[in-house]
Amino acid sequence: YQKEQVDVTIGEDMIITLLQAGNITGQVLGENGELEGVLIELESESMPNFYLNVITDLDGRFTFNQVPIEYNGVTLSDYIVTVNGDDFGYPNQTKAQLKSGASVVITLDRSSQSQIKGTVLDFKEKPMPSGGENYVTIKVYTEDFKFVKTVSNAVSTDGSSTFQIDGLTPGLSYNLAFYPYGGNNFPSFDFHLFETGKTYTFIFKQGTW
């Protein structure tokens, strides 16, 4: 049962209602196994003022104690566990619709969050045709234009005209400079600021394939 202290005076009637409570347990895993030191938060949609937080142990495990089973006579099944992965380079992740007594395993994945991907189109919004003489190199810079790397032949030549830049830092934005080869009237390069973990359509300001 959940513990609660109530102050009363002599002669005052007192009714004590003991709330049944249990635990919610879990484990957080990353790309290389268990994650220690991750902040885990617990909230309930039915109880706006209910909030608990714990830190994962050496094995990535966590336990929330004294989690009410019922509220106003109704069994609670709307607990939300939030895993704050930001400090470890992962996007935050949640598990919802949980009951007291639940046990969950949450695996964090940052692969998609360390990418920028999309499609490259010419000025007329046409994809780069397959089997031609055209190709595009992409140079990657930080938001303040510090050079990161060059990706040669970065845009697919199968007609889909897609690109994908891997190995970036999740949560950051990067300037991508597109260097087209072939086609007509393209600039020497064109660039734009992109955020990791998202998919974009990049359109050259001039030029056609």
CATH at 74? 2.60.40.10
98 and 120 part of one domain: no
Share of the chain above pLDDT 70, in %: 90
Cβ within 8 Å of residue 75, ≥6 positions away:
69, 99
End position of a domain, from candidates 60, 85, 107: 107
160 and 174 part of one domain: yes
Cut 0.85: pTM above it = no
Cβ within 8 Å of residue 139, ≥6 positions away:
147, 149, 150, 151, 176, 177, 179, 189
pLDDT in tens, 147-190: 999 999 999 999 999 999 987 877 889 999 999 999 999 999 99
128 and 153 part of one domain: yes
40 and 87 part of one domain: yes
pLDDT for res 2: 45
d(CA 98, CA 79): 5
Residue 172 lies in a domain: yes
Determine the 3-state secondary structure of 166 from DSSP: coil
End position of a domain, from candidates 107, 139, 161: 107
Band of residue 19 on the pLDDT scale cut at 50, 70, 90 = low
Closest CA to 148 of 175, 178, 119: 175
Band of residue 132 on the pLDDT scale cut at 50, 70, 90 = confident
- Domain range enclosing 177: 112-203
Sign of the alpha-carbon dihedral angle for 93, 99, 100, 106: negative
The CATH number of whichever domain residue 196 belongs to comes to 2.60.40
Total tally of structural domains belonging to the chain: 2
pLDDT for res 152: 92
pLDDT in tens, 95-122: 888 999 999 999 887 677 788 999 999 9
pLDDT in tens, 198-208: 899 999 999 99
51 and 90 part of one domain: yes
